[in-house]
Structure 1
Amino acid sequence: MKQKMFFVKISTILLLSSALFGLFVPKTAHAEDIVDITRAAGYTVNGIYRPKASIIIDATNGNVLWEDNPDLPWSPASTSKMMTVYLAFEAMEQGKFNLDTTITATETHAKISRIHALSNNKIVAGVDYPIRELLSMIIVPSSNVATVMLANLISNNDEAAFVQMMNDKCAELGMSNSMFYNCSGAQISSFQGYYAPIGIDPNADNQSSARDLSIMTYNMLKKYPEILEYTKSPVVTVMSGTPYAETFETYNHSLEGAMYSFQGMDGLKTGSSPTANFNYIGTAKRGDTSLIEVILGAGNWADQAGEHERHPFGNAILERAFSTYEYKKLLSKGSNQIDGKEISLAQDFYGVVPKNSTPKFTLENNQLLLNNGLAQVSEKIPAQSVEYTEKQPSQGSNNNKKETTKKENTTMTDSELPIIEYVVSAMVAILGGIFMVLTPMTRRPAHGRRARHSTGMRPLFLLGLILLASGITLGVLSWQMGTWFPFQF
C-alpha cells in the first residue's frame, strides 16, 4: 500500500510539473495543423496537397504570426521573378530607366517566347516593349522571356552579373537560405541555349525558403508599394491598343474576383515546377492590418490540381491571422504612464497585438518594449522605434523635473521574458514536490478499535501541497502579467 501511494504521489507531481514547465515554453506562431485549420474554415481539402512550408508576417513591422517549416530549403520556382522585379524597381529608383523605357525585342527573345515548356507570352522581334508592360507580363502570365529581357536591361546584357546581383540582394536583406542560379526560376537548361549565364550550373534550381521569400516581399513592398498595382487584378491586358495585345488571367486564384477570392488579397506571385510543386506569395490588407504569406510545396507536380489546392490552405491560415491579430495604435503621442513612470512620446506608437487584448509594455535599458510575444521575421527587420522623453523628479524639489530624451529600439530580446519570475515559481513548486515525495502518508493516533483505519496527512506533506499549488499559480501569473519580481539581476 505504501509503495502504491508513493507511485501515486510521484505520478501526480510529474503531471503537475509538466503542466508548470509547459507554461515556460515560448509561445509559437501556431499550434494547430494547417489541414485542420483549412477544413475548419469550410474548405474540403485532401492532406496530400499539404504545403511543405508556410509563413505569415505582418507587412508593417515584420512580426511572425504563423510559421510551419519556415526555413525549409525549397525551390521558389517562378516566385523567383519577384527578385528580378525588385531589382528593376531599384534600378528605376537609381534613374537608370523608367516605366516608359522600351526594350526592342530580338530574334533570340522571340525564340524564347516559343519554348512551350516555359510559361511565356508572345514576343515579336523588332517590337518595342515598355517596361510597364513587361512587368505585367512577368507578374501575371509569369513570362520567362519578359523576365530575361528585363534582367538583361538591368545588367547591360551580362546575364551572370545579374544572377550575382540577385544573390547580393539576398545577402543584403538577410535571406540566409537563398541562392539564385537564374533570373526567372526556370533552369538555364530549359532555355535551349538562348539564355546561358556564363559559369553557372545550367541544371541548378534556385533555392530559398518561406521565411526568405517573406523577407524579400516585406522589403520590396516597404520600398516600392506601387508593385501591387501590377499584382492586384485577376485579369490583365498587355500592349493594349496595339496589334500585340494579349489578355491573361492570373494564376493567383486568391485575388478578389478569382476562383478562391479572398477579401483584401492584392498580390503577389505564384510559381510551380517539377521540383517545387506549387508555391505562392500572397499579400492582403484589411483596415490598417497588412499581411504577407508564403506557401511552398503544395501538392505534387504530377497532379496539376495543386495549382488550385494551394489556395484553400493559404486562405485559411490568412483568415486565422486576420481574425487573431490586428495592427493598431497602441499609445498616443504625448504623455503616457508606463510601469509607474511618466513618458512623453514624440509620435503615436503602433504595433500588432492579439485582438481584444490589453497591450503590455516594458521600460527597460532605455527602451520602450511591446510585449506581444511575437518574433521578428529577421534580425535585419527591427521593430518600430519612437522617440520618448522620460520625466523624473529631481532631488530636493517636486517641481523641477529632469528630462532625458531617448531613442526607442523595440527589437524583442530575451530580457522581456519574466525569467526570474519563472525561476522563483519553479523553485517553489519543486520544493513543494520534494516535501510531498519525502513525507509519507501517516495514520492519525489510534483512539478505539477502528481508528487505525482513519488516515490523514502530516503537516509537512500538506505544506508541500500548498507550495506546489503556489508555484503553479505564480507561474500562471508570470505568463499572464510578465515581470513582477521586485529585484532584477
Structure 2
Amino acid sequence: MKKRNVLLKFSSLVLALGYLSGIFTAVNAYAQEDILTVTQNAGYQTDEFYKPKASIVIEAQTGQVLWADNPDLKWNPASIAKLMSVYLVFEAMEKGQFTLNTMVKATESDQAISQIYELSNNSIVAGVEYPVKDLLYATLVQSSNVATVMLANLVTANDEAKFIHMMNDKAKELGMTNSTFYNCSGAETGSFNGYYKPEGIDQNADNVTTARDLAILSYHLLKNYPDTVTYTSPTQITIMENTPYAEVLENHNYSLPGLAYGYEGADGLKTGSSPSGGFNYAATAKREDTRLIEVVLGVGDWEDQEGELQRHAFGNAIFDQAFATYEYKKLLSKGNNTISQEEVILDQDFYGVIQRNTTPNFKLSADKVEMETGLTEVSPTIKAPSVSFKYAKKLKALQNSALLKTGKKKNVFSTFFINGLFIILGLLFLALSKLFKKEPTSNKKNKFNLLFILGILLVLAGIASSVYTVVIGPWI
C-alpha cells in the first residue's frame, strides 16, 4: 500500500512538471517570436541591424494594446514630434482662434529657415501669405520644419517658448508620462541658425518620448480630430495652387497605398528620422471597422539610409499580425441580453476588441457591462469599453408599478366626482334639516334629527374619501 502511494505521488509530480514545462515552452516560444521574426516571416528582407528599439500597436477606438516591445524606452522621435504641434493647432482652431483658411504672412526668418539645407522644408517666401490648410499639408506630408514653426507662432502670437510649454502641458494632460519637448518640429533648436530660438529652452536638447506615449498622442489626435488623416494620407499634393508659389509635396510615408511599401488601409500618420534617433514611424490603418495605431522607433542607423524603408517593413508586419489576430466589432446589441445568467437590458450597442474566431466573455460590474479580454489600455487615463445596463426583472417590476399608477390616475377623476357628490348631498340634507326645524310637531323634529345626522355622515364620508384618494389613491 505504501509503495502504491509513493508511485501515485511520483506520477503526480511528473505530470505537474510536464504541465509546467509545457507552459514554459509555450511562453518561451511566444517570446522568441519577436518583431524581427514576425517581419521575416511576413516575407520582408531584413536583419538584426535594422531591428527596432521599441514598438507598439493599439486599437484606435479602445486604446487597447495588441502588441508591445519595449514600449517605454525613452527615445528621440525626430519629426514625429510634429504630431503634438498639429494637435495644438487643431485645438486652437476648435477654440475659434483661427480657421483653415486663415492666411499666415511669412517673415524674413521663415524664409531663412526654409533655406537651411540640413532641415526638411518646403519653399517659403517672405511677405507671401499661406493658408493654414496648406501649412498643415506641408507639416504632415513634406515634414516641413518651417511650416511647423509658422503654425506654432500663429497659435501663440509668436511666443515660441510658450508653445513649447503648451506642448509639455498637453503631454501631461493626455497621460504621456515619459515625454519632454524642447522644440516644436523635432529638429534641434540649434540647427535653425538662430532664426527659431524659444527663450529659456535648452537649444541643444532633443525631444524625448516613448512608443507608448506617441501611441497615446496618436490615439487622442485621431479621436478628437479625425480630419487629421486628411492631411496625412496624400502621397502627393500641390499647395498654393494657382499662385506663383505653387509647390508639389511628396509624402515620406512609404506604407501609403501606391508607394514602395504600400499597405492596404494605411492613411497616416508621420515619419521621423535623425542622427540620434535613427528612423521612426507612427502609423494608422483601417480595415473594415478596425482601425489600428502603431509606433516603431529606432530602426537601423542614420548612416545607413536603408532604414528609411526598413521601418515600413517592420510596421507593415506587426500591422498584419494585429489585423489577423484581432477585430473591433459590435459584440452585443442594444436591448435584452443574458449575461452571467442574468437578464439585462443594454442602453446601447456594445463594441469592443476581440480575438478573431473566439467567443467574448462578459461580466456585470455595478451598472456596467464589461468584457474580459486580457488586454490592457495604453494609458490609465483611457477606460476599457463598457456599456450601461438595467436588470430586466427590476425594470419590468418598475414598469408594472408605473402602469398600475397610470391606471389609478385614470380613476382619480371619477373618485373625486363621487366624493364631491357625497359632500354635496350631505350639505343638501343639512339644509333640509334647517327647513324642517321650523315645524312645531314632534314628528317633524324626528325628521330633522334624521336628516341632520345623515347630512353630517355624508359630508364626513366625502371628506374622508377625498383624503384617502389624495394620500393612498383612488378607491374605485
For the structure 1 residues 105 and 214, does the alpha-carbon distance in structure 2 shift closer, same or farther, using more than 3 Å as the test? Answer: same
- The 2-side partners of 1:363 and 1:109 are apart by 58
Whether the aligned pair in 2 keeps the contact of 1:288 and 1:327 (CA below 8 Å) is yes
Alignment of 1:272 with 2:273, yes or no, is yes
| Alignment-derived partner of residue 15 in structure 1 | 17
Give, in angstroms, the shift of residue 243 of structure 1: 1.1
| Alignment-derived partner of residue 89 in structure 2 | 88
Name the SS of the counterpart of 2:138 in structure 1: helix
| Alignment-derived partner of residue 438 in structure 1 | none
Give the aligned residue type for 2:317: A
1:5-154 to 2 correspondences below 5 Å: 12=14, 15-16=17-18, 18-19=20-21, 32-154=33-155
Give, in angstroms, the shift of residue 85 of structure 1: 0.5
Whether the aligned pair in 2 keeps the contact of 1:30 and 1:67 (CA below 8 Å) is no
Alignment of 1:321 with 2:327, yes or no, is no
**TM-score, with structure 1 as normaliser:** 0.77
Give the aligned residue type for 1:173: L
1:2-401 to 2 correspondences below 5 Å: 12=14, 15-16=17-18, 18-19=20-21, 32-392=33-393, 400=397
- The 1-side partners of 2:19 and 2:273 are apart by 47
Name the SS of the counterpart of 1:266 in structure 2: strand
For the structure 1 residues 212 and 7, does the alpha-carbon distance in structure 2 shift closer, same or farther, using more than 3 Å as the test? Answer: same
Q: Structure 2: state its 5+ residue gaps.
A: 401-476
- The 1-side partners of 2:31 and 2:75 are apart by 21
Q: Structure 1: state its 5+ residue gaps.
A: 404-489
Larger radius of gyration: 2
- The 2-side partners of 1:311 and 1:82 are apart by 19
| Alignment-derived partner of residue 410 in structure 1 | none
For the structure 1 residues 372 and 31, does the alpha-carbon distance in structure 2 shift closer, same or farther, using more than 3 Å as the test? Answer: farther
**TM-score, with structure 2 as normaliser:** 0.79
Name the SS of the counterpart of 1:294 in structure 2: strand
Whether the aligned pair in 2 keeps the contact of 1:391 and 1:402 (CA below 8 Å) is no
Deviations 1:84-134 (Å, cap 9, x if unpaired)? 111000000000000000111111111111110111111101100000000
- The 2-side partners of 1:263 and 1:104 are apart by 38
For the structure 1 residues 30 and 65, does the alpha-carbon distance in structure 2 shift closer, same or farther, using more than 3 Å as the test? Answer: farther
Name the SS of the counterpart of 1:66 in structure 2: strand
- The 1-side partners of 2:334 and 2:199 are apart by 56
Give the aligned residue type for 1:128: E
- The 2-side partners of 1:291 and 1:13 are apart by 42
Whether the aligned pair in 2 keeps the contact of 1:30 and 1:66 (CA below 8 Å) is no
For the structure 1 residues 28 and 185, does the alpha-carbon distance in structure 2 shift closer, same or farther, using more than 3 Å as the test? Answer: farther
Give the aligned residue type for 1:61: T
Give, in angstroms, the shift of residue 36 of structure 1: 1.0
Name the SS of the counterpart of 1:121 in structure 2: coil
- The 2-side partners of 1:323 and 1:193 are apart by 49
Aligned pair count reads: 396
Deviations 1:342-368 (Å, cap 9, x if unpaired)? 000111100010011111111234432
Give, in angstroms, the shift of residue 29 of structure 1: 10
For the structure 1 residues 49 and 110, does the alpha-carbon distance in structure 2 shift closer, same or farther, using more than 3 Å as the test? Answer: same
- The 1-side partners of 2:92 and 2:25 are apart by 49
Give, in angstroms, the shift of residue 17 of structure 1: 5.8
Give, in angstroms, the shift of residue 246 of structure 1: 1.2
- The 1-side partners of 2:108 and 2:29 are apart by 53
Give the aligned residue type for 1:235: Q
For the structure 1 residues 365 and 387, does the alpha-carbon distance in structure 2 shift closer, same or farther, using more than 3 Å as the test? Answer: closer
Give the aligned residue type for 2:260: M
Greater helix content: 2
Larger mean Cα displacement after TM superposition, 235-244 or 155-164? 235-244
Give, in angstroms, the shift of residue 44 of structure 1: 1.1
